Amino acid sequence: MTRIVLAYSGSLDSSVAIPWLADRHHAQIIAVTIDLGQGKDVLEEIRDRALATGALRAHVVDARDLYLRDHILRGLRAGMLWHGGASMARALSMPVVAEKLVEIARIEQAPAVAHADARGQAAPIDRILRATGRQLEVEAPAGEWAMTREQQVDYAAQRGVTLPADMIGGVAVRAAGPPPQEPAYVDIAFERGVPVGINGVVMPLGDLIASLEILAGAHGVSLAALGVLHVAHGALRQAVLAPPAEAFSAQVAEQYVHVLKEGAWFTPLRHALDAYVDSIEQEVAGKARLRLFQGDCTVDGTQRAMKRVALSMAKNA
């Protein structure tokens, strides 16, 4: 039997894909779940479900640092972490998933990889997989089977597929309580466009995001941590950069989104965009003060880094 390495998120689509691929290709399915910070309980539940559904093996690959450092942080500094009114976190995870999927396929000596994006070959992850794993076959079952959600549930019942936790009351998520009646003011410090601390406390990016997630959740801010960071970074960048540079940076953000959606993340074009962002973000240093209250996140003020203000005064003297 051949082997197919499947990007497995635990969703209904990816769960149905295990028996569907096994039957259609007479294959052994290796499930790969990428740890992007979902939490131990969630990842264990997903891994167990993959094995119960028929996967030969189920790998959980820790990519949290890679995801934050090379993708979330890059998206933040590029100004596209929040785009068109929605988070780009999931889209930014696709290059990570594709990269790790190809690595596991080589370790498993599998000739094919698969994903469960319903857009099939038009999905960004499909395009990235074809670009990074040139010697691998890429399967996109959800783009082929033409099943409605109800038909997928029926298929899952017939094949003994364990349904996702949110459909069967699995891993519980605690509901947030009512937001406080007083606003919270949060100072986020940046160095070269990188968030380095909250309210005077320096902390690693992962801890910083986790702290912001708690604060945003407590005050009912739907933007969540990444949206809050996007607002803070954008406000400071606007205060620091000249209007022409800020306008061009907005165009660069649009190009990043285009590159990501077209599956061209690992290309010279993205590296050229990176070079511009790395250069312009050298000046983005200081603090942004945000006000979190009753679900809203607003900018209360910005403060440029003192050393950069001093340099500017010296140049003008």
Q: 231-282: per-residue pLDDT in tens?
A: 999 999 999 999 999 999 999 999 999 999 998 999 999 999 999 999 999 9
Cβ(30)–Cβ(6) below 8 Å: yes
SS3 at position 144 = coil
Mean pLDDT calculated for residue range 190-208: 96
Superfamily of 2-168 according to CATH? HUPs (3.40.50.620)
CATH number assigned to the domain covering 184-316:
3.90.1260.10
Residue limits of CATH 3.90.1260.10 in the chain: 184-316
pLDDT given for residue 179 in this prediction = 75
**What was the pLDDT predicted at 305?**
82
What pLDDT digit, counting tens, does each position of 271-310 carry? 999 999 999 999 999 999 999 999 899 999 999 985 544 3
E-strand spans in the chain?
Answer: 2-7, 27-35, 57-62, 82-83, 86-87, 112-114, 137-139, 184-191, 194-198, 201-202, 286-293, 296-304
pLDDT of residue 146: 87
Residue intervals of the chain classified under CATH 3.40.50.620 are 2-168
Q: Are strands 112-114 and 137-139 parallel, antiparallel or unpaired?
A: parallel
- Interatomic CA distance for residues 269 and 222, integer angstroms: 33
Q: Rounded distance, CA 52 to CA 15, Å?
A: 10
pLDDT for res 176 = 56
Would you state the pLDDT for residue 178? 74
- 201-202 and 286-293 strand pairing: unpaired
pLDDT at 183 over 60: yes
